Structure 1
């Protein structure tokens, strides 16, 4: 994975006031880091953007109606009609909208053929029931375990690219952003361009913020389940599928609801209606991922980043450890003694783990710029993606893994972090626990594991706990 340096907002790069994008209802994307948000086709007709709720939704439906018609007449997999449906189901990743799990890279990629076939088979199953609503495609993230939100988002982007281009072109003309002829899928469009660090020019497509979500339906389905269970037939079928299971897992409940939803055309239509009713876009006010807070820090800086002490990175890894510990101390101080803890909560519930990671990254990145240190968020080094890798040159590497207290803290420290260290060929790492008040005995357990390693003469990762529990306002603290 390429390193991320100097994350750049669209507004900063093109000299556009961020307020202009807000007024237009558009996301101000990072141009060199994918935003962990996804276009949900269910939200298209709910959008406040006229182009989206009229032209785009119509185009989306027509696009997938062709696929539905081809599957309806297909007699067997891989016959002519099936192949036509396959061609209509374009799973290539459009690199133009800056959404998804790309981490530090926005380059497009193609998805495995087996995922495409799984979507086609499930669609065929639904069509065989007698259902024909092209928006069935939006449910694939719920019905198919291997179909992620990025897949659904990219399918939707491909289907409505002309409308997203029109929205982008209108905004850029109104705000003096230069446009260039850009080829997307064999068609030429006028779009703004971003020159990445490798010298590539990447066309940019802007996306309305009210058509994106932070989670796929499959991972955020409690409201959908409750709505669907109001239908007596679906409720009875779900209970029958779960009969004999004392405590069904989430996967088992999803499988039961899937089977119930595919019981008949009427069941499916009701289920699809429940999905449409209960899905909502990513809320900037709640900011469950901390994305908007990240943008604010990147755009406006963060107080307290200047350090009196100088760092000499030529001294090697231990000096990088000192820099890393200082970034964590700064984050810890603002969470525990300032008001930054408020950015880690949605009402009375902790935000997703991603929120603390993004906010810490924004702080650490600004800190690293001042000290000519590279930071790679979610760097994949063979053992899976570590949260952060700090490096200076090839050999000097320090890892940071961040876990929320309600998560797999013990496994993360005992097993996961060790895999990452081995994969990255370093034994220097810091394990950060964000404590929301539900840490329990996990801290004692990981401290015991650390102590045992030290007693055996092994190097053990440092443990830092950050108290993110709600605090009284600064004026009321003694």
Structure 2
């Protein structure tokens, strides 16, 4: 029973490694995406050509945007793309579905290209043009939009990249001819054309592989959050003293309008003043991008480390610890309802973390814990392969979202995954799952809490004592301390 591409298709992980592809999960998206800057900065001519292909398309869009209004039909044709879910990368907590690029994205990008960035493709300050530029001026276009846009624009490359690997390593039983509707853009007809590829096929859909060296995690190298947070470094890159002084003065005035008298400005106030200054001087975006270009080598190094950590976290350790042992047990024999099954899956994840060394995946190379609720949620999802139950993400039945709703027939169980350091843990334990249970008509609710230190464990115990939940079977503690002590976790 496959969890990752390699074991699903009977390929040695080393074969994928040699090809340069990331060994994706076929159970759930993993939190990686293509960073267009890595294409721009790459020494590989093929990657640079892909980046030029992206820019050429944006220049086409710029020309149409500056020429005047266009119909909603053309906006949808040129800007609105479905998520390429078949690469199994992205931000879905369960499965690989996503919303893709809708009309709001189309209008935002079209407006930016037509007004603020009418010179896109002809920049003189930066070494090149960048897709990320048109997403920096305002909130509303983020990393998931960039990821979906880039993946669609280079889908032909990803299909050919996967097709080549499949031709060399997979038998005909594992591949099918697949037509891709938006494979190539024809600039003469200003429309997308279909192409056919021979691709891996699994459970009713094709699969795409992605080279590891174009992937990153968390955010693109050029991103709005980084630009705003590091705004005060940008003027140092401006050679024009008059412009530099004008920017500094405007920022000071914008900050003074927000800051409280006789109090130092807060980070939120500084960020708001920076955003206003950038809107007034949009050329600052080019100077910010130039700074990022100058540190491009760091982008490749940082992204490579993030991809490696993600691979270690979700792929290698999960493969080594979970699946071989599960296949030798009755883990896949579903008995009882979803409540019993959810407890079984949590118990195994707890056993893997505490007794099988899986706690190591939560620590970076310096031994510091990486504490993210999304990571433990994805791990929990990965132990649900081989189930007849439906496990849904952040189900919202009228009272707000909950992490997981597990359903099988009339049986429903809700599961919440929390970090012990969560500031709202006590309130969540007291009210959250019970409220969601009533809204979802679920039988039971289970709360799993992961802790990384004795102090965090003590805090959780104190909260449980106050709430009279010390003996609740629906509270599951996961001990991820580096000095893992099973006796403490079972207390």
Find the counterpart in structure 2 of residue 405 from structure 1: 420
Residue deviations 1:99-148 (CA, integer Å, cap 9, x gap):
22334444565544223212333344432588855845324555443334
Shift, 1:413, TM fit: 2.6
CA contact (8 A) 1:164 1:207 kept: yes
Correspondence for 2:384: 365
Q: Does 1:429 align with 2:419?
A: no
Q: Distance in 1 between matches of 2:265 and 2:477?
A: 34
Q: 2:359 aligns with which of 341, 344, 351?
A: 341
- Name the structure 2 match of 1:31: 26
Shift of 1:461: 7.9
Matches within 5 A, 1:68-147: 68-74=62-68, 78-79=69-70, 87-106=77-96, 109-127=99-117, 132=122, 135-139=129-133, 142-147=136-141
> Conserved in 2, the CA contact under 8 Å of 1:191 and 1:205?
no
Q: Which segment drifts farther, 217-226 or 94-103?
A: 217-226
| 5+ long unaligned stretches in structure 1 | 1-5, 455-459
What is the rounded CA distance, in whole Å, between the counterparts of 1:310 and 1:58 in structure 2?
Answer: 48
| Matching residue of 2:198 | 191
Q: Would you say the 8 A contact 1:35–1:98 is kept in 2?
A: yes
Partner of 2:214: 211
| Distance (Å, rounded) in 2 between the aligned partners of 1:304 and 1:442 | 33
State the shift of 1:49 in Å.
Answer: 4.8
Question: What's the TM-score once normalised by structure 1's chain length?
Answer: 0.76
- Is the partner of 1:145 in helix, strand or coil? coil
Is contact 2:5-2:23 (8 Å) kept?
A: yes
1:17 aligned partner: 12
Give the corresponding residue for 1:457.
Answer: none
Q: Which moved more, 1:83-92 or 1:345-354?
A: 83-92
Please give the residue correspondences for 1:9-408 in structure 2 after superposition, counting only pairs within 5 Å.
9-47=4-42, 49-52=44-47, 54-74=48-68, 78-79=69-70, 87-106=77-96, 109-127=99-117, 132=122, 135-139=129-133, 142-176=136-170, 178=175, 180-185=177-182, 186-196=193-203, 200=204, 202-217=205-220, 221-222=225-226, 225-226=229-230, 229-232=233-236, 233=244, 237-243=250-256, 244-245=258-259, 253-264=270-281, 266-276=283-293, 277=295, 279-280=299-300, 283=303, 285=305, 290-297=310-317, 299-300=319-320, 302=322, 305=326, 313-314=335-336, 316=337, 320-321=339-340, 323-346=341-364, 347=366, 348-362=368-382, 364-365=383-384, 369=386, 374=389, 376=391, 378=393, 380-382=395-397, 383=399, 385-391=401-407, 393-407=408-422, 408=424
User: After alignment, is 269-278 or 283-292 more displaced?
Assistant: 283-292
Q: Distance in 2 between matches of 1:220 and 1:418?
A: 38
Shift of 1:62: 0.4
Distance 1:40 1:147 in 2: 15
Q: What CA distance in whole angstroms lies between the structure 2 residues aligned with 1:280 and 1:423?
A: 46
Mapped to 2, the partners of 1:304 and 1:250 lie a distance apart of: 49
Q: TM-score, normalised by structure 2?
A: 0.75
Count, aligned residues: 445
Give the whole-Å Cα distance in 1 for the aligned partners of 2:265 and 2:430: 28
User: Are 2:29 and 2:93, in contact at CA under 8 Å, matched by a contact in 1?
Assistant: yes
SS of alignment partner, residue 433 of structure 1: strand
SS of the equivalent of 1:122 reads: helix
Q: Is the 8 A contact 2:93 2:377 kept in 1?
A: no
Describe the SS at the equivalent of 2:139: coil
Asked whether 1:467 is paired with 2:470, we answer no
Alpha carbons 1:429, 1:461 under 8 Å: kept: no
Deviates more, 1:220-229 or 1:120-129: 220-229
What is the alpha-carbon distance in structure 1 between the residues aligned to residue 11 and residue 211 of structure 2? 16
- Give the drift of 1:373: 5.5
C-alpha spacing 1:471/1:299, structure 2 compared with 1 (3 Å): closer
User: What is the alpha-carbon distance in structure 2 between the residues aligned to residue 445 and residue 139 of structure 1?
Assistant: 49
